[in-house]
Structure 1
Amino acid sequence: MVKYAQESDLADLNPDELSERLATVLRDAMPWLVTISEAEASVPEGAGKWSGKQVMGHLTDSAVNNLARIVRMQIEAEPRLSGYEQMEWVRLQHYAEREWAEVLALWFALNEHVVWTIGHIDRARLGNVGVVEGDAVTLGFLIEDYVAHIQHHLRAMQRWMGTVGGRDG
């Protein structure tokens, strides 16, 4: 499992804060994401790289997979949680061919539900352990890492697309 975050002390984590952390990422990202044009969102970063649509599609797939992990880690004792074929998920769902506004709406809606779900986790369950791609992780860390993963991709998009839809501002 590729890790994007440093694991915090479980005593310092609470579901409300984790939920708000993700909600803040969504609120901060949407104003500049909606300024990206259909044309700009369709252009890959470079040869063999994803377009903005495909990156956001990947983040949508990540929301689907991590939502399932978050729920399962509250239900099952030490679940074994597989990874997923990220490139194939993006390719098979044809995000590159979908309207940019639709990709954004799907990503945002799924993550709003993840925010809701995280906010309702019993704090005692943040220490529940699951095995993701062979690595034992706590539910608290899984959530922290999920948010950091989104931030990683959004920062990368801002660098190559420009802060506001490829325009200075």
Structure 2
Amino acid sequence: MKRQSQKLADLLDNYTIRLSMMEEEEMEQKTSPSKWSKKEIVGHLVDSAQNNIQRFIRAQIQDNYQLIKYEQDKWVELNNYQSWDEVLLVQYFRSVNQQVIMIWEKMPNEQLTSACVVDGDTVTLEWIMDDYLVHMEHHLKQIFPDND
């Protein structure tokens, strides 16, 4: 198992349980109208997984794959995560990330060095995978700031 797969599996095991124990009111609370609620942060992580699944697949197929950016605020708004049932949202978060794990585990090691273009810079597919984990941890710390 690739180290990234194990790390993502560990994050899912730890945080899915914690997310499922949160009260609806806490999940929906916003510190200001312009900030995401914890529920919307989880939704953003779902969007990130969906967009990155495309990246992880396309980068294995296309040489010098150019990552397509997505407008994260619009994705959260248009998916209307604030109105989602918390149980369904947490299950979806877990499921879509389990798909990421399956893609990573099946990925041949030689694909890790595949070139990807991000904002004009060339990085490896492995860098994209590591960045995905850093991004997820960043947002999970927003939800659970006591976890340092």
TM over 0.5: yes
**Equivalent residue, structure 2, for 1:107:** 93
**Equivalent residue, structure 1, for 2:117:** 131
> Could you state the TM-score of these two structures normalised by the residue count of structure 1?
0.83
CA distance in 2, matches of 1:99, 1:133: 35
Q: Does 1:63 align with 2:49?
A: yes
Unaligned runs of 5+ in 2: none
CA distance in 2, matches of 1:31, 1:107: 12
1:1-169 matches, within 5 Å, as 16-159=2-145
Unaligned runs of 5+ in 1: 1-14, 164-169
What is the deviation of 1:16? 1.9
CA distance in 1, matches of 2:121, 2:23: 39
Aligned length: 147
Identity of aligned residues (%): 32
> Could you state the TM-score of these two structures normalised by the residue count of structure 2?
0.94
CA distance in 2, matches of 1:81, 1:142: 10
Higher helix share: 2
What is the deviation of 1:142? 0.3
Q: CA RMSD in A?
A: 1.3
What is the deviation of 1:118? 0.3
Q: Which runs of 4+ in 1 moved over 6 A?
A: none
CA distance in 1, matches of 2:69, 2:134: 17
Deviations 1:93-113 (A, max 9, x none): 110111111111111100001
CA distance in 1, matches of 2:121, 2:80: 30
Which residue type is aligned with residue 108 of structure 1? R
